[in-house]
Structure formats: structure tokens, C-alpha cells
């Protein structure tokens, strides 16, 4: 019983973090129909920023998560306006290829300037355990998941109850109808892409204390974001939460049941299973019903 509670507690905490890591992908795919292949690089960018700012100025990764949001928002906005919008105007495939090119270029540049070494970050709140309902969980999991939950709640409430949030949901469901009501569709599309990159970078900062990271791990976060979107769909924060919790609890369970080296195989198998079950592969995640 204790093991089950341990798995559930760890899985929920992991799930909240994975939800945040996948929410940006859910937004870009669900609202814009853009499969953002640079998503993993934005997560890695947040982790690198957290690492550098912590070692230079002892800045907490939680503070860094707030700092990187506007920075990566600007990066995302520029990326959308300069490359994505133009490529998508030609065809979705052109957009995908353009983003693949940007991802490869950003990965190569990061490896060049930051090296391909694996790094890890031990924050002030790491290395302790917190008791939740009789189950002891690592303190950094709790702090990171709580920060993720706070950010998820802000995004959920913003999308649900603010006029710009309603405009974003309208854009996802019927762009032409949004346009004729006065929504500046081009501007809001760029803002949504910027927000998706901001959330990815914030997730990267928060989870930098939990997992070692290197240039190569950006692919893992890109894959995890795919899983969150495919399992939960693109129906907004709650759908991403369903995908993230499934992934988190599943991974926590597999960690108990399987040798560690097999966990990744099973997780990627989950991605494959989700693609087959939903039919249509990654494109099936694009429901445009935020």
C-alpha cells in the first residue's frame, strides 16, 4: 500500500511538471496547428539559464523560470514572425521543415557554445524529503510541482476568464469567426507561439533541479511534450494535465516495476501506442478545440 501511495504521489508531482513541459506544445499545435519542433530546445534553454544564473548569482531556478518567460517570449515571437508565419503560409509541411532546420541549428549552436556535457543543478531546496500523507517525497519534486501547478493555474484562469484568453480559444476553434469579431488573428497567433515558448522555457528552468540535462536531452523533452499532447489532446490546460499525469504516474509505476534502462523504452512505447490509438499520428493531436 505504501508503495502504491509512493508511486501515486511521485507520479502526480512528475505529472504536474510534465504537464507544464507539454502545455506549450499543446497551445502551439491546438491553436495554431504548428508542430513546434523547437519546443525541446526552449525547455533546454530554460534549464541552461537556470544553471548559469544559479552558478553566477545563486538565483533560484524558480526565479529564473519567471525571468526566462519574457526572454523566450520575445524569441518565440520573432521566430513566429520571421520564419513560422511565412513558412506556414506556403504549407504546413514547409513550416515543419523550417522549424526542423531551426531546431538543428539551435542544437548545433548550443553544443558549440555550451558544450555537449551533461550538467545537473542542485538547488537550496534539493536533498530533503517532505512527508505528504505518510509518503516521503523529494523536496525538489514538491517545490517544482507546486511552481508548475501555480503556473498552470494562471494559464488556465487566463484562458478561461479573460477576454484575451477567450480570443485565444476562439482562434483555436474558428479563426475566421474570431477575425470578423475583431480579433487580430496574426498578432494573437504570434502571441500564442510566444507564450508556448515561454512556458517551455519556464518548465526547463523548474525541472533543471530534477533531471540532468545536456544538448541531447532536448529530444527527450520534445518527445515528452508529444506524449502529453497525444495522450491528453489539445483541449487546453486540463487536457494537458490528463496527458501529463498519465505520463507521470505511468513513469513512476514503471520505475518500480522495471529496470531503469527499460523505462525509457516503455515511455516511448507509450508515445507509439498513443499515435496508433488516436490514428493519424502526431497530426491527430491537432484538435483545435481549446
Partner 1 sequence: MSATLTMRDVVAEYSPGQPILRGLTLAAEPGHLSVIIGPNGSGKSTALRVLAGLLIPTSGTVSLRTDSDELDVSHVPAHERAGRGIGFLPQGHSVFPAMSVHDNLLLGGWSVRRSRKISDAVASAYARYPALADKRNAPAGSLSGGQQRILELARSLIADPSILLVDEPSAGVAPVVATLMYQELAQLRDEGRTVILVDQDVRAALAVADTVYVLKSGAVDRWGPTADFGDDLDALVRDWLALDPAADTPHADTPHASIPQADTPQANYAEEAHS
Task: Name the site residues for partner 1 (rule: CB under 8 A).
Answer: 163, 166-167, 169-170, 173-174, 176-185, 235, 289-290
| Residue (123 or 167) nearer to partner 1, CB | 167
Q: How far is the CB of 169 from partner 1 (least distance, A)?
A: 6
In sequence order, what E strands does the chain have?
129-132, 135-138
Q: How far is the CB of 156 from partner 1 (least distance, A)?
A: 15
Q: Is 210 helix (H, G, I), strand (E, B) or coil?
A: coil
Per-residue DSSP letter, 64: H
Q: How far is the CB of 173 from partner 1 (least distance, A)?
A: 4
What lies within 8 Å, CB to CB, of 67 at 6+ separation is: 49, 53, 59
Say if CB 288 and CB 31 are below 8 A apart.
Answer: yes
Residues paired with residue 132 on neighbouring β-strands, in sequence order: 135
Task: Please state the closest distance from residue 46 (CB atom) to partner 1, in A.
Answer: 30
User: Do residues 99 and 76 touch, judged by C-beta distance below 8 A?
Assistant: no
Cα(1)–Cα(4) distance, rounded to whole angstroms?
A: 5
| Least distance in angstroms from the C-beta of 193 to partner 1 | 18
- CA 157 remoteness from chain centre: 18
Amino acid at each position: 500500500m505504501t508503495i502504491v501511495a509512493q508511486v501515486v504521489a511521485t507520479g502526480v508531482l512528475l505529472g504536474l511538471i510534465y504537464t507544464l513541459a507539454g502545455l506549450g506544445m499543446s497551445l502551439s499545435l491546438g491553436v495554431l496547428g504548428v508542430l513546434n519542433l523547437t519546443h525541446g530546445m526552449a525547455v533546454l534553454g530554460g534549464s541552461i539559464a537556470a544553471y548559469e544564473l544559479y552558478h553566477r548569482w545563486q538565483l533560484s531556478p524558480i526565479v529564473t523560470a519567471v525571468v526566462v518567460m519574457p526572454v523566450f517570449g520575445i524569441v518565440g515571437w520573432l521566430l513566429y514572425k520571421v520564419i513560422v508565419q511565412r513558412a506556414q503560409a506556403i504549407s504546413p509541411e514547409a513550416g515543419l521543415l523550417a522549424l526542423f532546420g531551426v531546431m538543428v541549428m539551435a542544437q548545433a549552436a548550443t553544443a558549440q557554445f555550451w558544450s555537449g556535457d551533461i550538467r545537473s543543478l542542485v538547488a537550496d531546496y534539493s536533498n530533503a524529503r517532505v512527508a505528504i500523507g505518510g509518503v516521503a517525497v523529494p523536496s525538489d519534486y514538491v517545490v517544482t510541482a507546486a511552481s508548475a501547478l501555480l503556473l498552470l493555474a494562471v494559464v488556465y484562469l487566463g484562458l478561461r476568464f479573460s477576454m484575451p484568453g477567450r480570443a485565444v480559444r476562439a482562434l483555436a476553434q474558428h479563426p475566421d469567426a474570431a477575425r470578423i469579431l475583431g480579433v487580430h488573428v496574426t498578432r494573437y497567433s504570434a502571441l500564442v507561439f510566444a507564450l508556448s515558448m515561454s512556458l517551455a522555457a519556464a518548465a526547463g528552468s523548474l525541472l533543471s533541479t530534477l533531471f540532468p540535462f545536456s544538448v541531447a536531452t532536448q529530444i527527450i523533452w520534445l518527445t515528452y511534450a508529444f506524449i502529453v499532447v497525444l495522450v491528453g489532446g489539445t483541449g487546453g490546460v486540463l487536457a494537458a494535465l490528463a496527458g501529463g499525469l498519465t505520463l507521470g504516474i505511468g513513469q513512476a509505476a514503471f520505475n518500480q516495476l522495471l529496470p531503469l534502462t527499460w523505462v525509457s523504452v516503455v515511455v516511448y512505447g507509450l508515445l507509439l501506442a498513443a499515435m496508433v490509438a488516436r490514428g493519424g499520428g502526431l497530426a491527430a493531436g491537432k484538435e483545435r478545440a481549446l
